[in-house]
Chains A and B, each alone.
Chain A
Amino acid sequence: MPTMNQAVSNPVIDPVIEVDRLQFSYPGTGSRILHGISFTIARGDIFGFLGPSGAGKSTTQKVLIGVLKGYDGRVKVLGEEIRDTRSGYYERIGVAFEFPNFYSKLSVLENLKLFRSLYTGETEEPIKLLEQVGLADAAHLKVSELSKGMKMRLNFCRALLHRPAVLFLDEPTSGLDPVNAKIMKDLILERKAAGTTIVITTHNMHAAEELCDRVAFIVDGQIKLIDSPRELKLRQGESKVRVEFMEGEIRKSEDFPIDDLAQNERFLQVIGRHKIETIHSLEASLEQIFIDVTGRTLT
């Protein structure tokens, strides 16, 4: 297994986000949270920051969205150095925090209209966005009457009001049941298809695996690894397939190298003579790779 102290991402064509040796300490604390991290994110990509609580992924996101400007290093989003950005920056990026924050006594539509009025550029019709996320019927409900899944969709909706070029999503599937999590993932993939660059912060490996073009593992303020989930899984996994089959009344399992599988006599014998229950390739799971590379779990 690779043991990298500081991963360096491959050169990216048409980068939207460029971060070079980013360091950050919260004022007055003295302890450094980010230790010189570097990465780039390409236009139209979904990029995931993965790491346990306190690893520095939220701090990285706060720097990228311009909330923390007292950093060292270089951080450019859409060509602008973050420490020099002004209010116009927020016309170009959209943010959805982990916990949906709305005026709970106002209706869904009233909330969206209020936040829409803060933008000077072109904006979406709130009701159209609500239709896209399946909330049109809830438009006149008070936010306090919505379920967690509906609030998360509304949160996502709000971040899209001003057609941002870059979207920052913090734990977009957090606390959602499988049905709502699937809806949210589909919505994110729709935005990607529309050309939006998306940065996700999460500790949900499955969501990252399904959504992200590339992921970065952050631990102790350092990026330990950056690559596409598929590449990571193939590279770090075993090039084998595992077959589970019944031999009479006994369930058995055997592994075979993927190379020249069609010429593997034992494999052909097993699949030809026995009742097959499962066949799986043994690529590593993202979670296992994370544990192997960082020595940490995601809790």
Chain B
Amino acid sequence: MIRYRTLVLNDLRQIRMDPLLMASLLGPLAVIAVTRFGFIPLSDWIERQYGFALAPYSGFAATFLLLTIPLLPGTMTGLLMLDERDENIMSYYSVTPLTRRGYSVYRLFLPTLLSVLLSAAFVLFSGITESRSENIYALTLLALEAPCIALFLAAFASNKVEGLALSKISGLLFAGPVVAAFIPEPWQYAGMWIPTFWPAKCYLLGVNQEPLAALGVFGVGLIFHLLLLTGLSRAFLKRID
């Protein structure tokens, strides 16, 4: 445990020294705070000014904002991994008692844990979500997205600069909730290759009180995410070998 504690402390030190990494960690907290204190006043203001009610779209808004949460710790971890790959530190970890496997597990566990905790905090404190058991499906899938994003950056970017450019592409993930919320069935299933489609769909089915359908979508989404994680892990290992 001591070794992991030191690794966490080292990560915190690195995050403190790098404003970008700091923003990735504080971002989700800012999302929660802004949603909590800004969404309802903004919704009221838009309704007064333009006669447009945002309230019926709060489910979509919740999924849209929720998915920023794994995106940020995932990107942060991906950038840390790129730094460690650039500086050849990964290869050194593989000849210590931590081993390459231990390093990878630690690196992917941390953003997963952060996603779980911060997504749960969003559901509990943002003030725009309903407390439903189906939320667990969405949170589980979102938690798996953080390591996927980290591995995607670490596997496909040649350096940190490319990593930053690739992290912009992950903005495409915002399409997931849009497809799940606005495109009618069955056409919306054309968007099933977007990872964020699955947690968004689970959440919205929960809001619509369709627990069985939410469970089915969760099952397929879980398989999709596990396959994605396996594929990205292989690509990452191939890259560092």
Contacts and interface: CB of A to CB of B under 8 A. Distances in A.
B169 interface: no
A117 B2 contact: yes
Interface string A100-137: 01111110001001110111100000000000000000
Interface string A80-113: 0000000110110101010101111110001001
A103 B15 CA distance: 13
Contact of A101 (B5, B6, B88, B98): B88
Contacts of A104: 87
B97 A120 contact: yes
B87 A119 contact: no
B10 interface: yes
Given A103-B10, A103-B14, A118 B87 contact: no
A193 interface: no
B3 A101 contact: no
A105 B98 contact: no
A118 B98 contact: yes
Contact of B6 (A88, A91, A105, A114): A114
A93 B87 CA distance: 22
Interface in A169-218: none
B89 A101 contact: yes
**Size category of the binding interface on chain B:** 20 to 34
B13 interface: yes
A65 interface: yes
Given A105-B17, A106-B13, A110-B13, A87 B6 contact: no
B92 interface: yes
B105 interface: no
Contacts of B89: 101-103
B91 A101 contact: yes
A182 B75 CA distance: 44
A263 to B, nearest CB: 58
A161 B37 CA distance: 51
B158 interface: no
A67 interface: yes
Interface residues of A, number: 25
Contact of A118 (B14, B18, B97): B97
Contacts, number: 61
B91 A66 contact: no
Interface in B49-100: 87-89, 91-99
Contacts of B98: 87, 118
B231 interface: no
Contacts of A115: 92, 96
A178 to B, nearest CB: 26
B38 interface: no
A117 B10 CA distance: 11
A88 B102 CA distance: 13
Given A114-B6, A117-B3, A99 B88 contact: yes
B97 A90 contact: yes
Interface string B3-22: 10111001001100110000
Contact of B87 (A66, A102, A117): A102
A95 B95 contact: yes
B97 A97 contact: no
Given A101-B91, A117-B2, A87 B10 contact: no
A106 B2 CA distance: 19
A101 B92 contact: yes
Interface string B93-116: 111111100100000000000000
A87 B3 contact: no
A99 B91 CA distance: 11
Contacts of A105: 14, 17-18
Contacts of A95: 92, 95
B13 to A, nearest CB: 7
Nearest to A62: B95
A176 B111 CA distance: 40
A101 B87 contact: yes
Given A90-B96, A115-B96, A106 B91 contact: no
B236 to A, nearest CB: 17
A117 B98 CA distance: 10
B83 to A, nearest CB: 8
A113 B92 contact: no
Contacts of B7: 114, 117
20 contacts: A87-B98, A87-B102, A90-B95, A90-B99, A93-B95, A97-B91, A101-B88, A101-B91, A102-B89, A103-B14, A103-B87, A103-B89, A105-B14, A106-B10, A106-B13, A110-B10, A113-B6, A114-B10, A117-B3, A118-B98
5 nearest CB pairs, A to B:
A117-B6, A101-B88, A95-B95, A87-B97, A118-B96
Given A103-B10, A103-B87, A103-B89, 14 more contacts: A66-B95, A91-B97, A95-B92, A101-B87, A101-B89, A101-B92, A105-B14, A105-B17, A110-B10, A110-B13, A113-B6, A114-B7, A115-B96, A118-B93
